[in-house]
Amino acid sequence: MGIIFFILIVGGIVWYVKVYNSPNAKAVREICKGKDSEQVKVIEYFCKEGCMTKTITDEEYLQMLRAKRDSLNLRQKALNKIGLDEDEVNEIAPAVFEGFVYKNNFAKKRANGDWVSSAYQVAWLFFSSTQIYIYRYTFHMDEDKKSESTDEFFYKDVTSFSTATETETAHGLEGKNFEVESNKFTMVVPGDKIFVSMDGVPNADDTIQAMKQKLREKKM
């Protein structure tokens, strides 16, 4: 009994020194101050290090992200912001692009080699007989922060639709940075380019081809 008690004491000391009181653990606890329980789980997922630490799994993080995305009802939110009914923007089927946003956010590589980040973007594009409407919404899993925007363009003012690969700088703790390549949908208009994350859309190329065809028809 005495040996078991001794082993438990030693194990507790090792855990306290190596895990709870480590520089990494202290830094994580500092970042987590004032966060809710879900945000704490996300921060720990991205930042906690060490063989004796425990965080949510890759799949659990993705489930949390999908649940938040779905709860936002972004298709309807987009229509509300644009101020149109869906039957007014049915020239072709609406397009949705989505994916992680890495720039200035927490990021890590999953067990399968794919990158994830603490921020996610969803964009809806709607097409009327004369205009294209684009709604973008970015939300963060580690903090109460979001951004949204709406733009509208006449077909004649849109130069092109395309895809591009962009390198973004994400971060970890204590000055760690990661260079992550991300696929973007690009809409070129006079004097500007609109970029939208699209890594989370398996049929993105087919969607873009349909949009290109409609743009060509409108410019004839």
Nearest to 99 by CA among 219, 202, 217: 202
Q: What is the pLDDT of residue 41?
A: 95
Query: For residue 81, how many other CB atoms are within 10 A of its CB?
Result: 16
Instruction: Write the pLDDT tens digit of every residue in 53-110.
Output: 788 999 999 999 999 999 999 999 999 999 988 888 988 999 999 999 999 999 999 9
CA dist 170 and 69 (Å) reads 21
Helix (H, G, I), strand (E, B) or coil at 56: coil
Nearest to 185 by CA among 202, 205, 210: 205
Structural domains of the chain in order of their starting residue, each with its CATH number? 2-47 (no CATH), 62-219 (2.30.29)
Q: What is the pLDDT of residue 15?
A: 41
| Strand extents, DSSP E, 156-191 | 160-171, 177-189
Give pLDDT < 70 ranges for the chain.
1-21, 50-52
Q: What is the pLDDT of residue 2?
A: 57
Q: What is the pLDDT of residue 78?
A: 96
Task: Please tell me what DSSP assigns to residue 157.
Answer: G
Print burial letters for 161-191: b (CB count within 10 Å at least 16), e (below 16).
Answer: beeeeeebebbebeeeebebebbbbbbeeee
* pTM for this entry: 0.87
Q: What is the pLDDT of residue 1?
A: 52
Residue 102 burial by Cβ neighbours in a 10 Å radius (0-12, 13-18, 19+): buried
CA dist 214 and 161 (Å) reads 11
Q: What is the pLDDT of residue 118?
A: 97
Q: What is the pLDDT of residue 18?
A: 47
CA dist 44 and 32 (Å) reads 8
Between the alpha carbon of residue 94 and those of residues 81, 112, 126, 134, 136, the distances in Å are 15, 31, 5, 10, 13
Q: Provide CB contacts within 8 A for 199, sequence distance 6+.
A: 99, 100, 182, 183
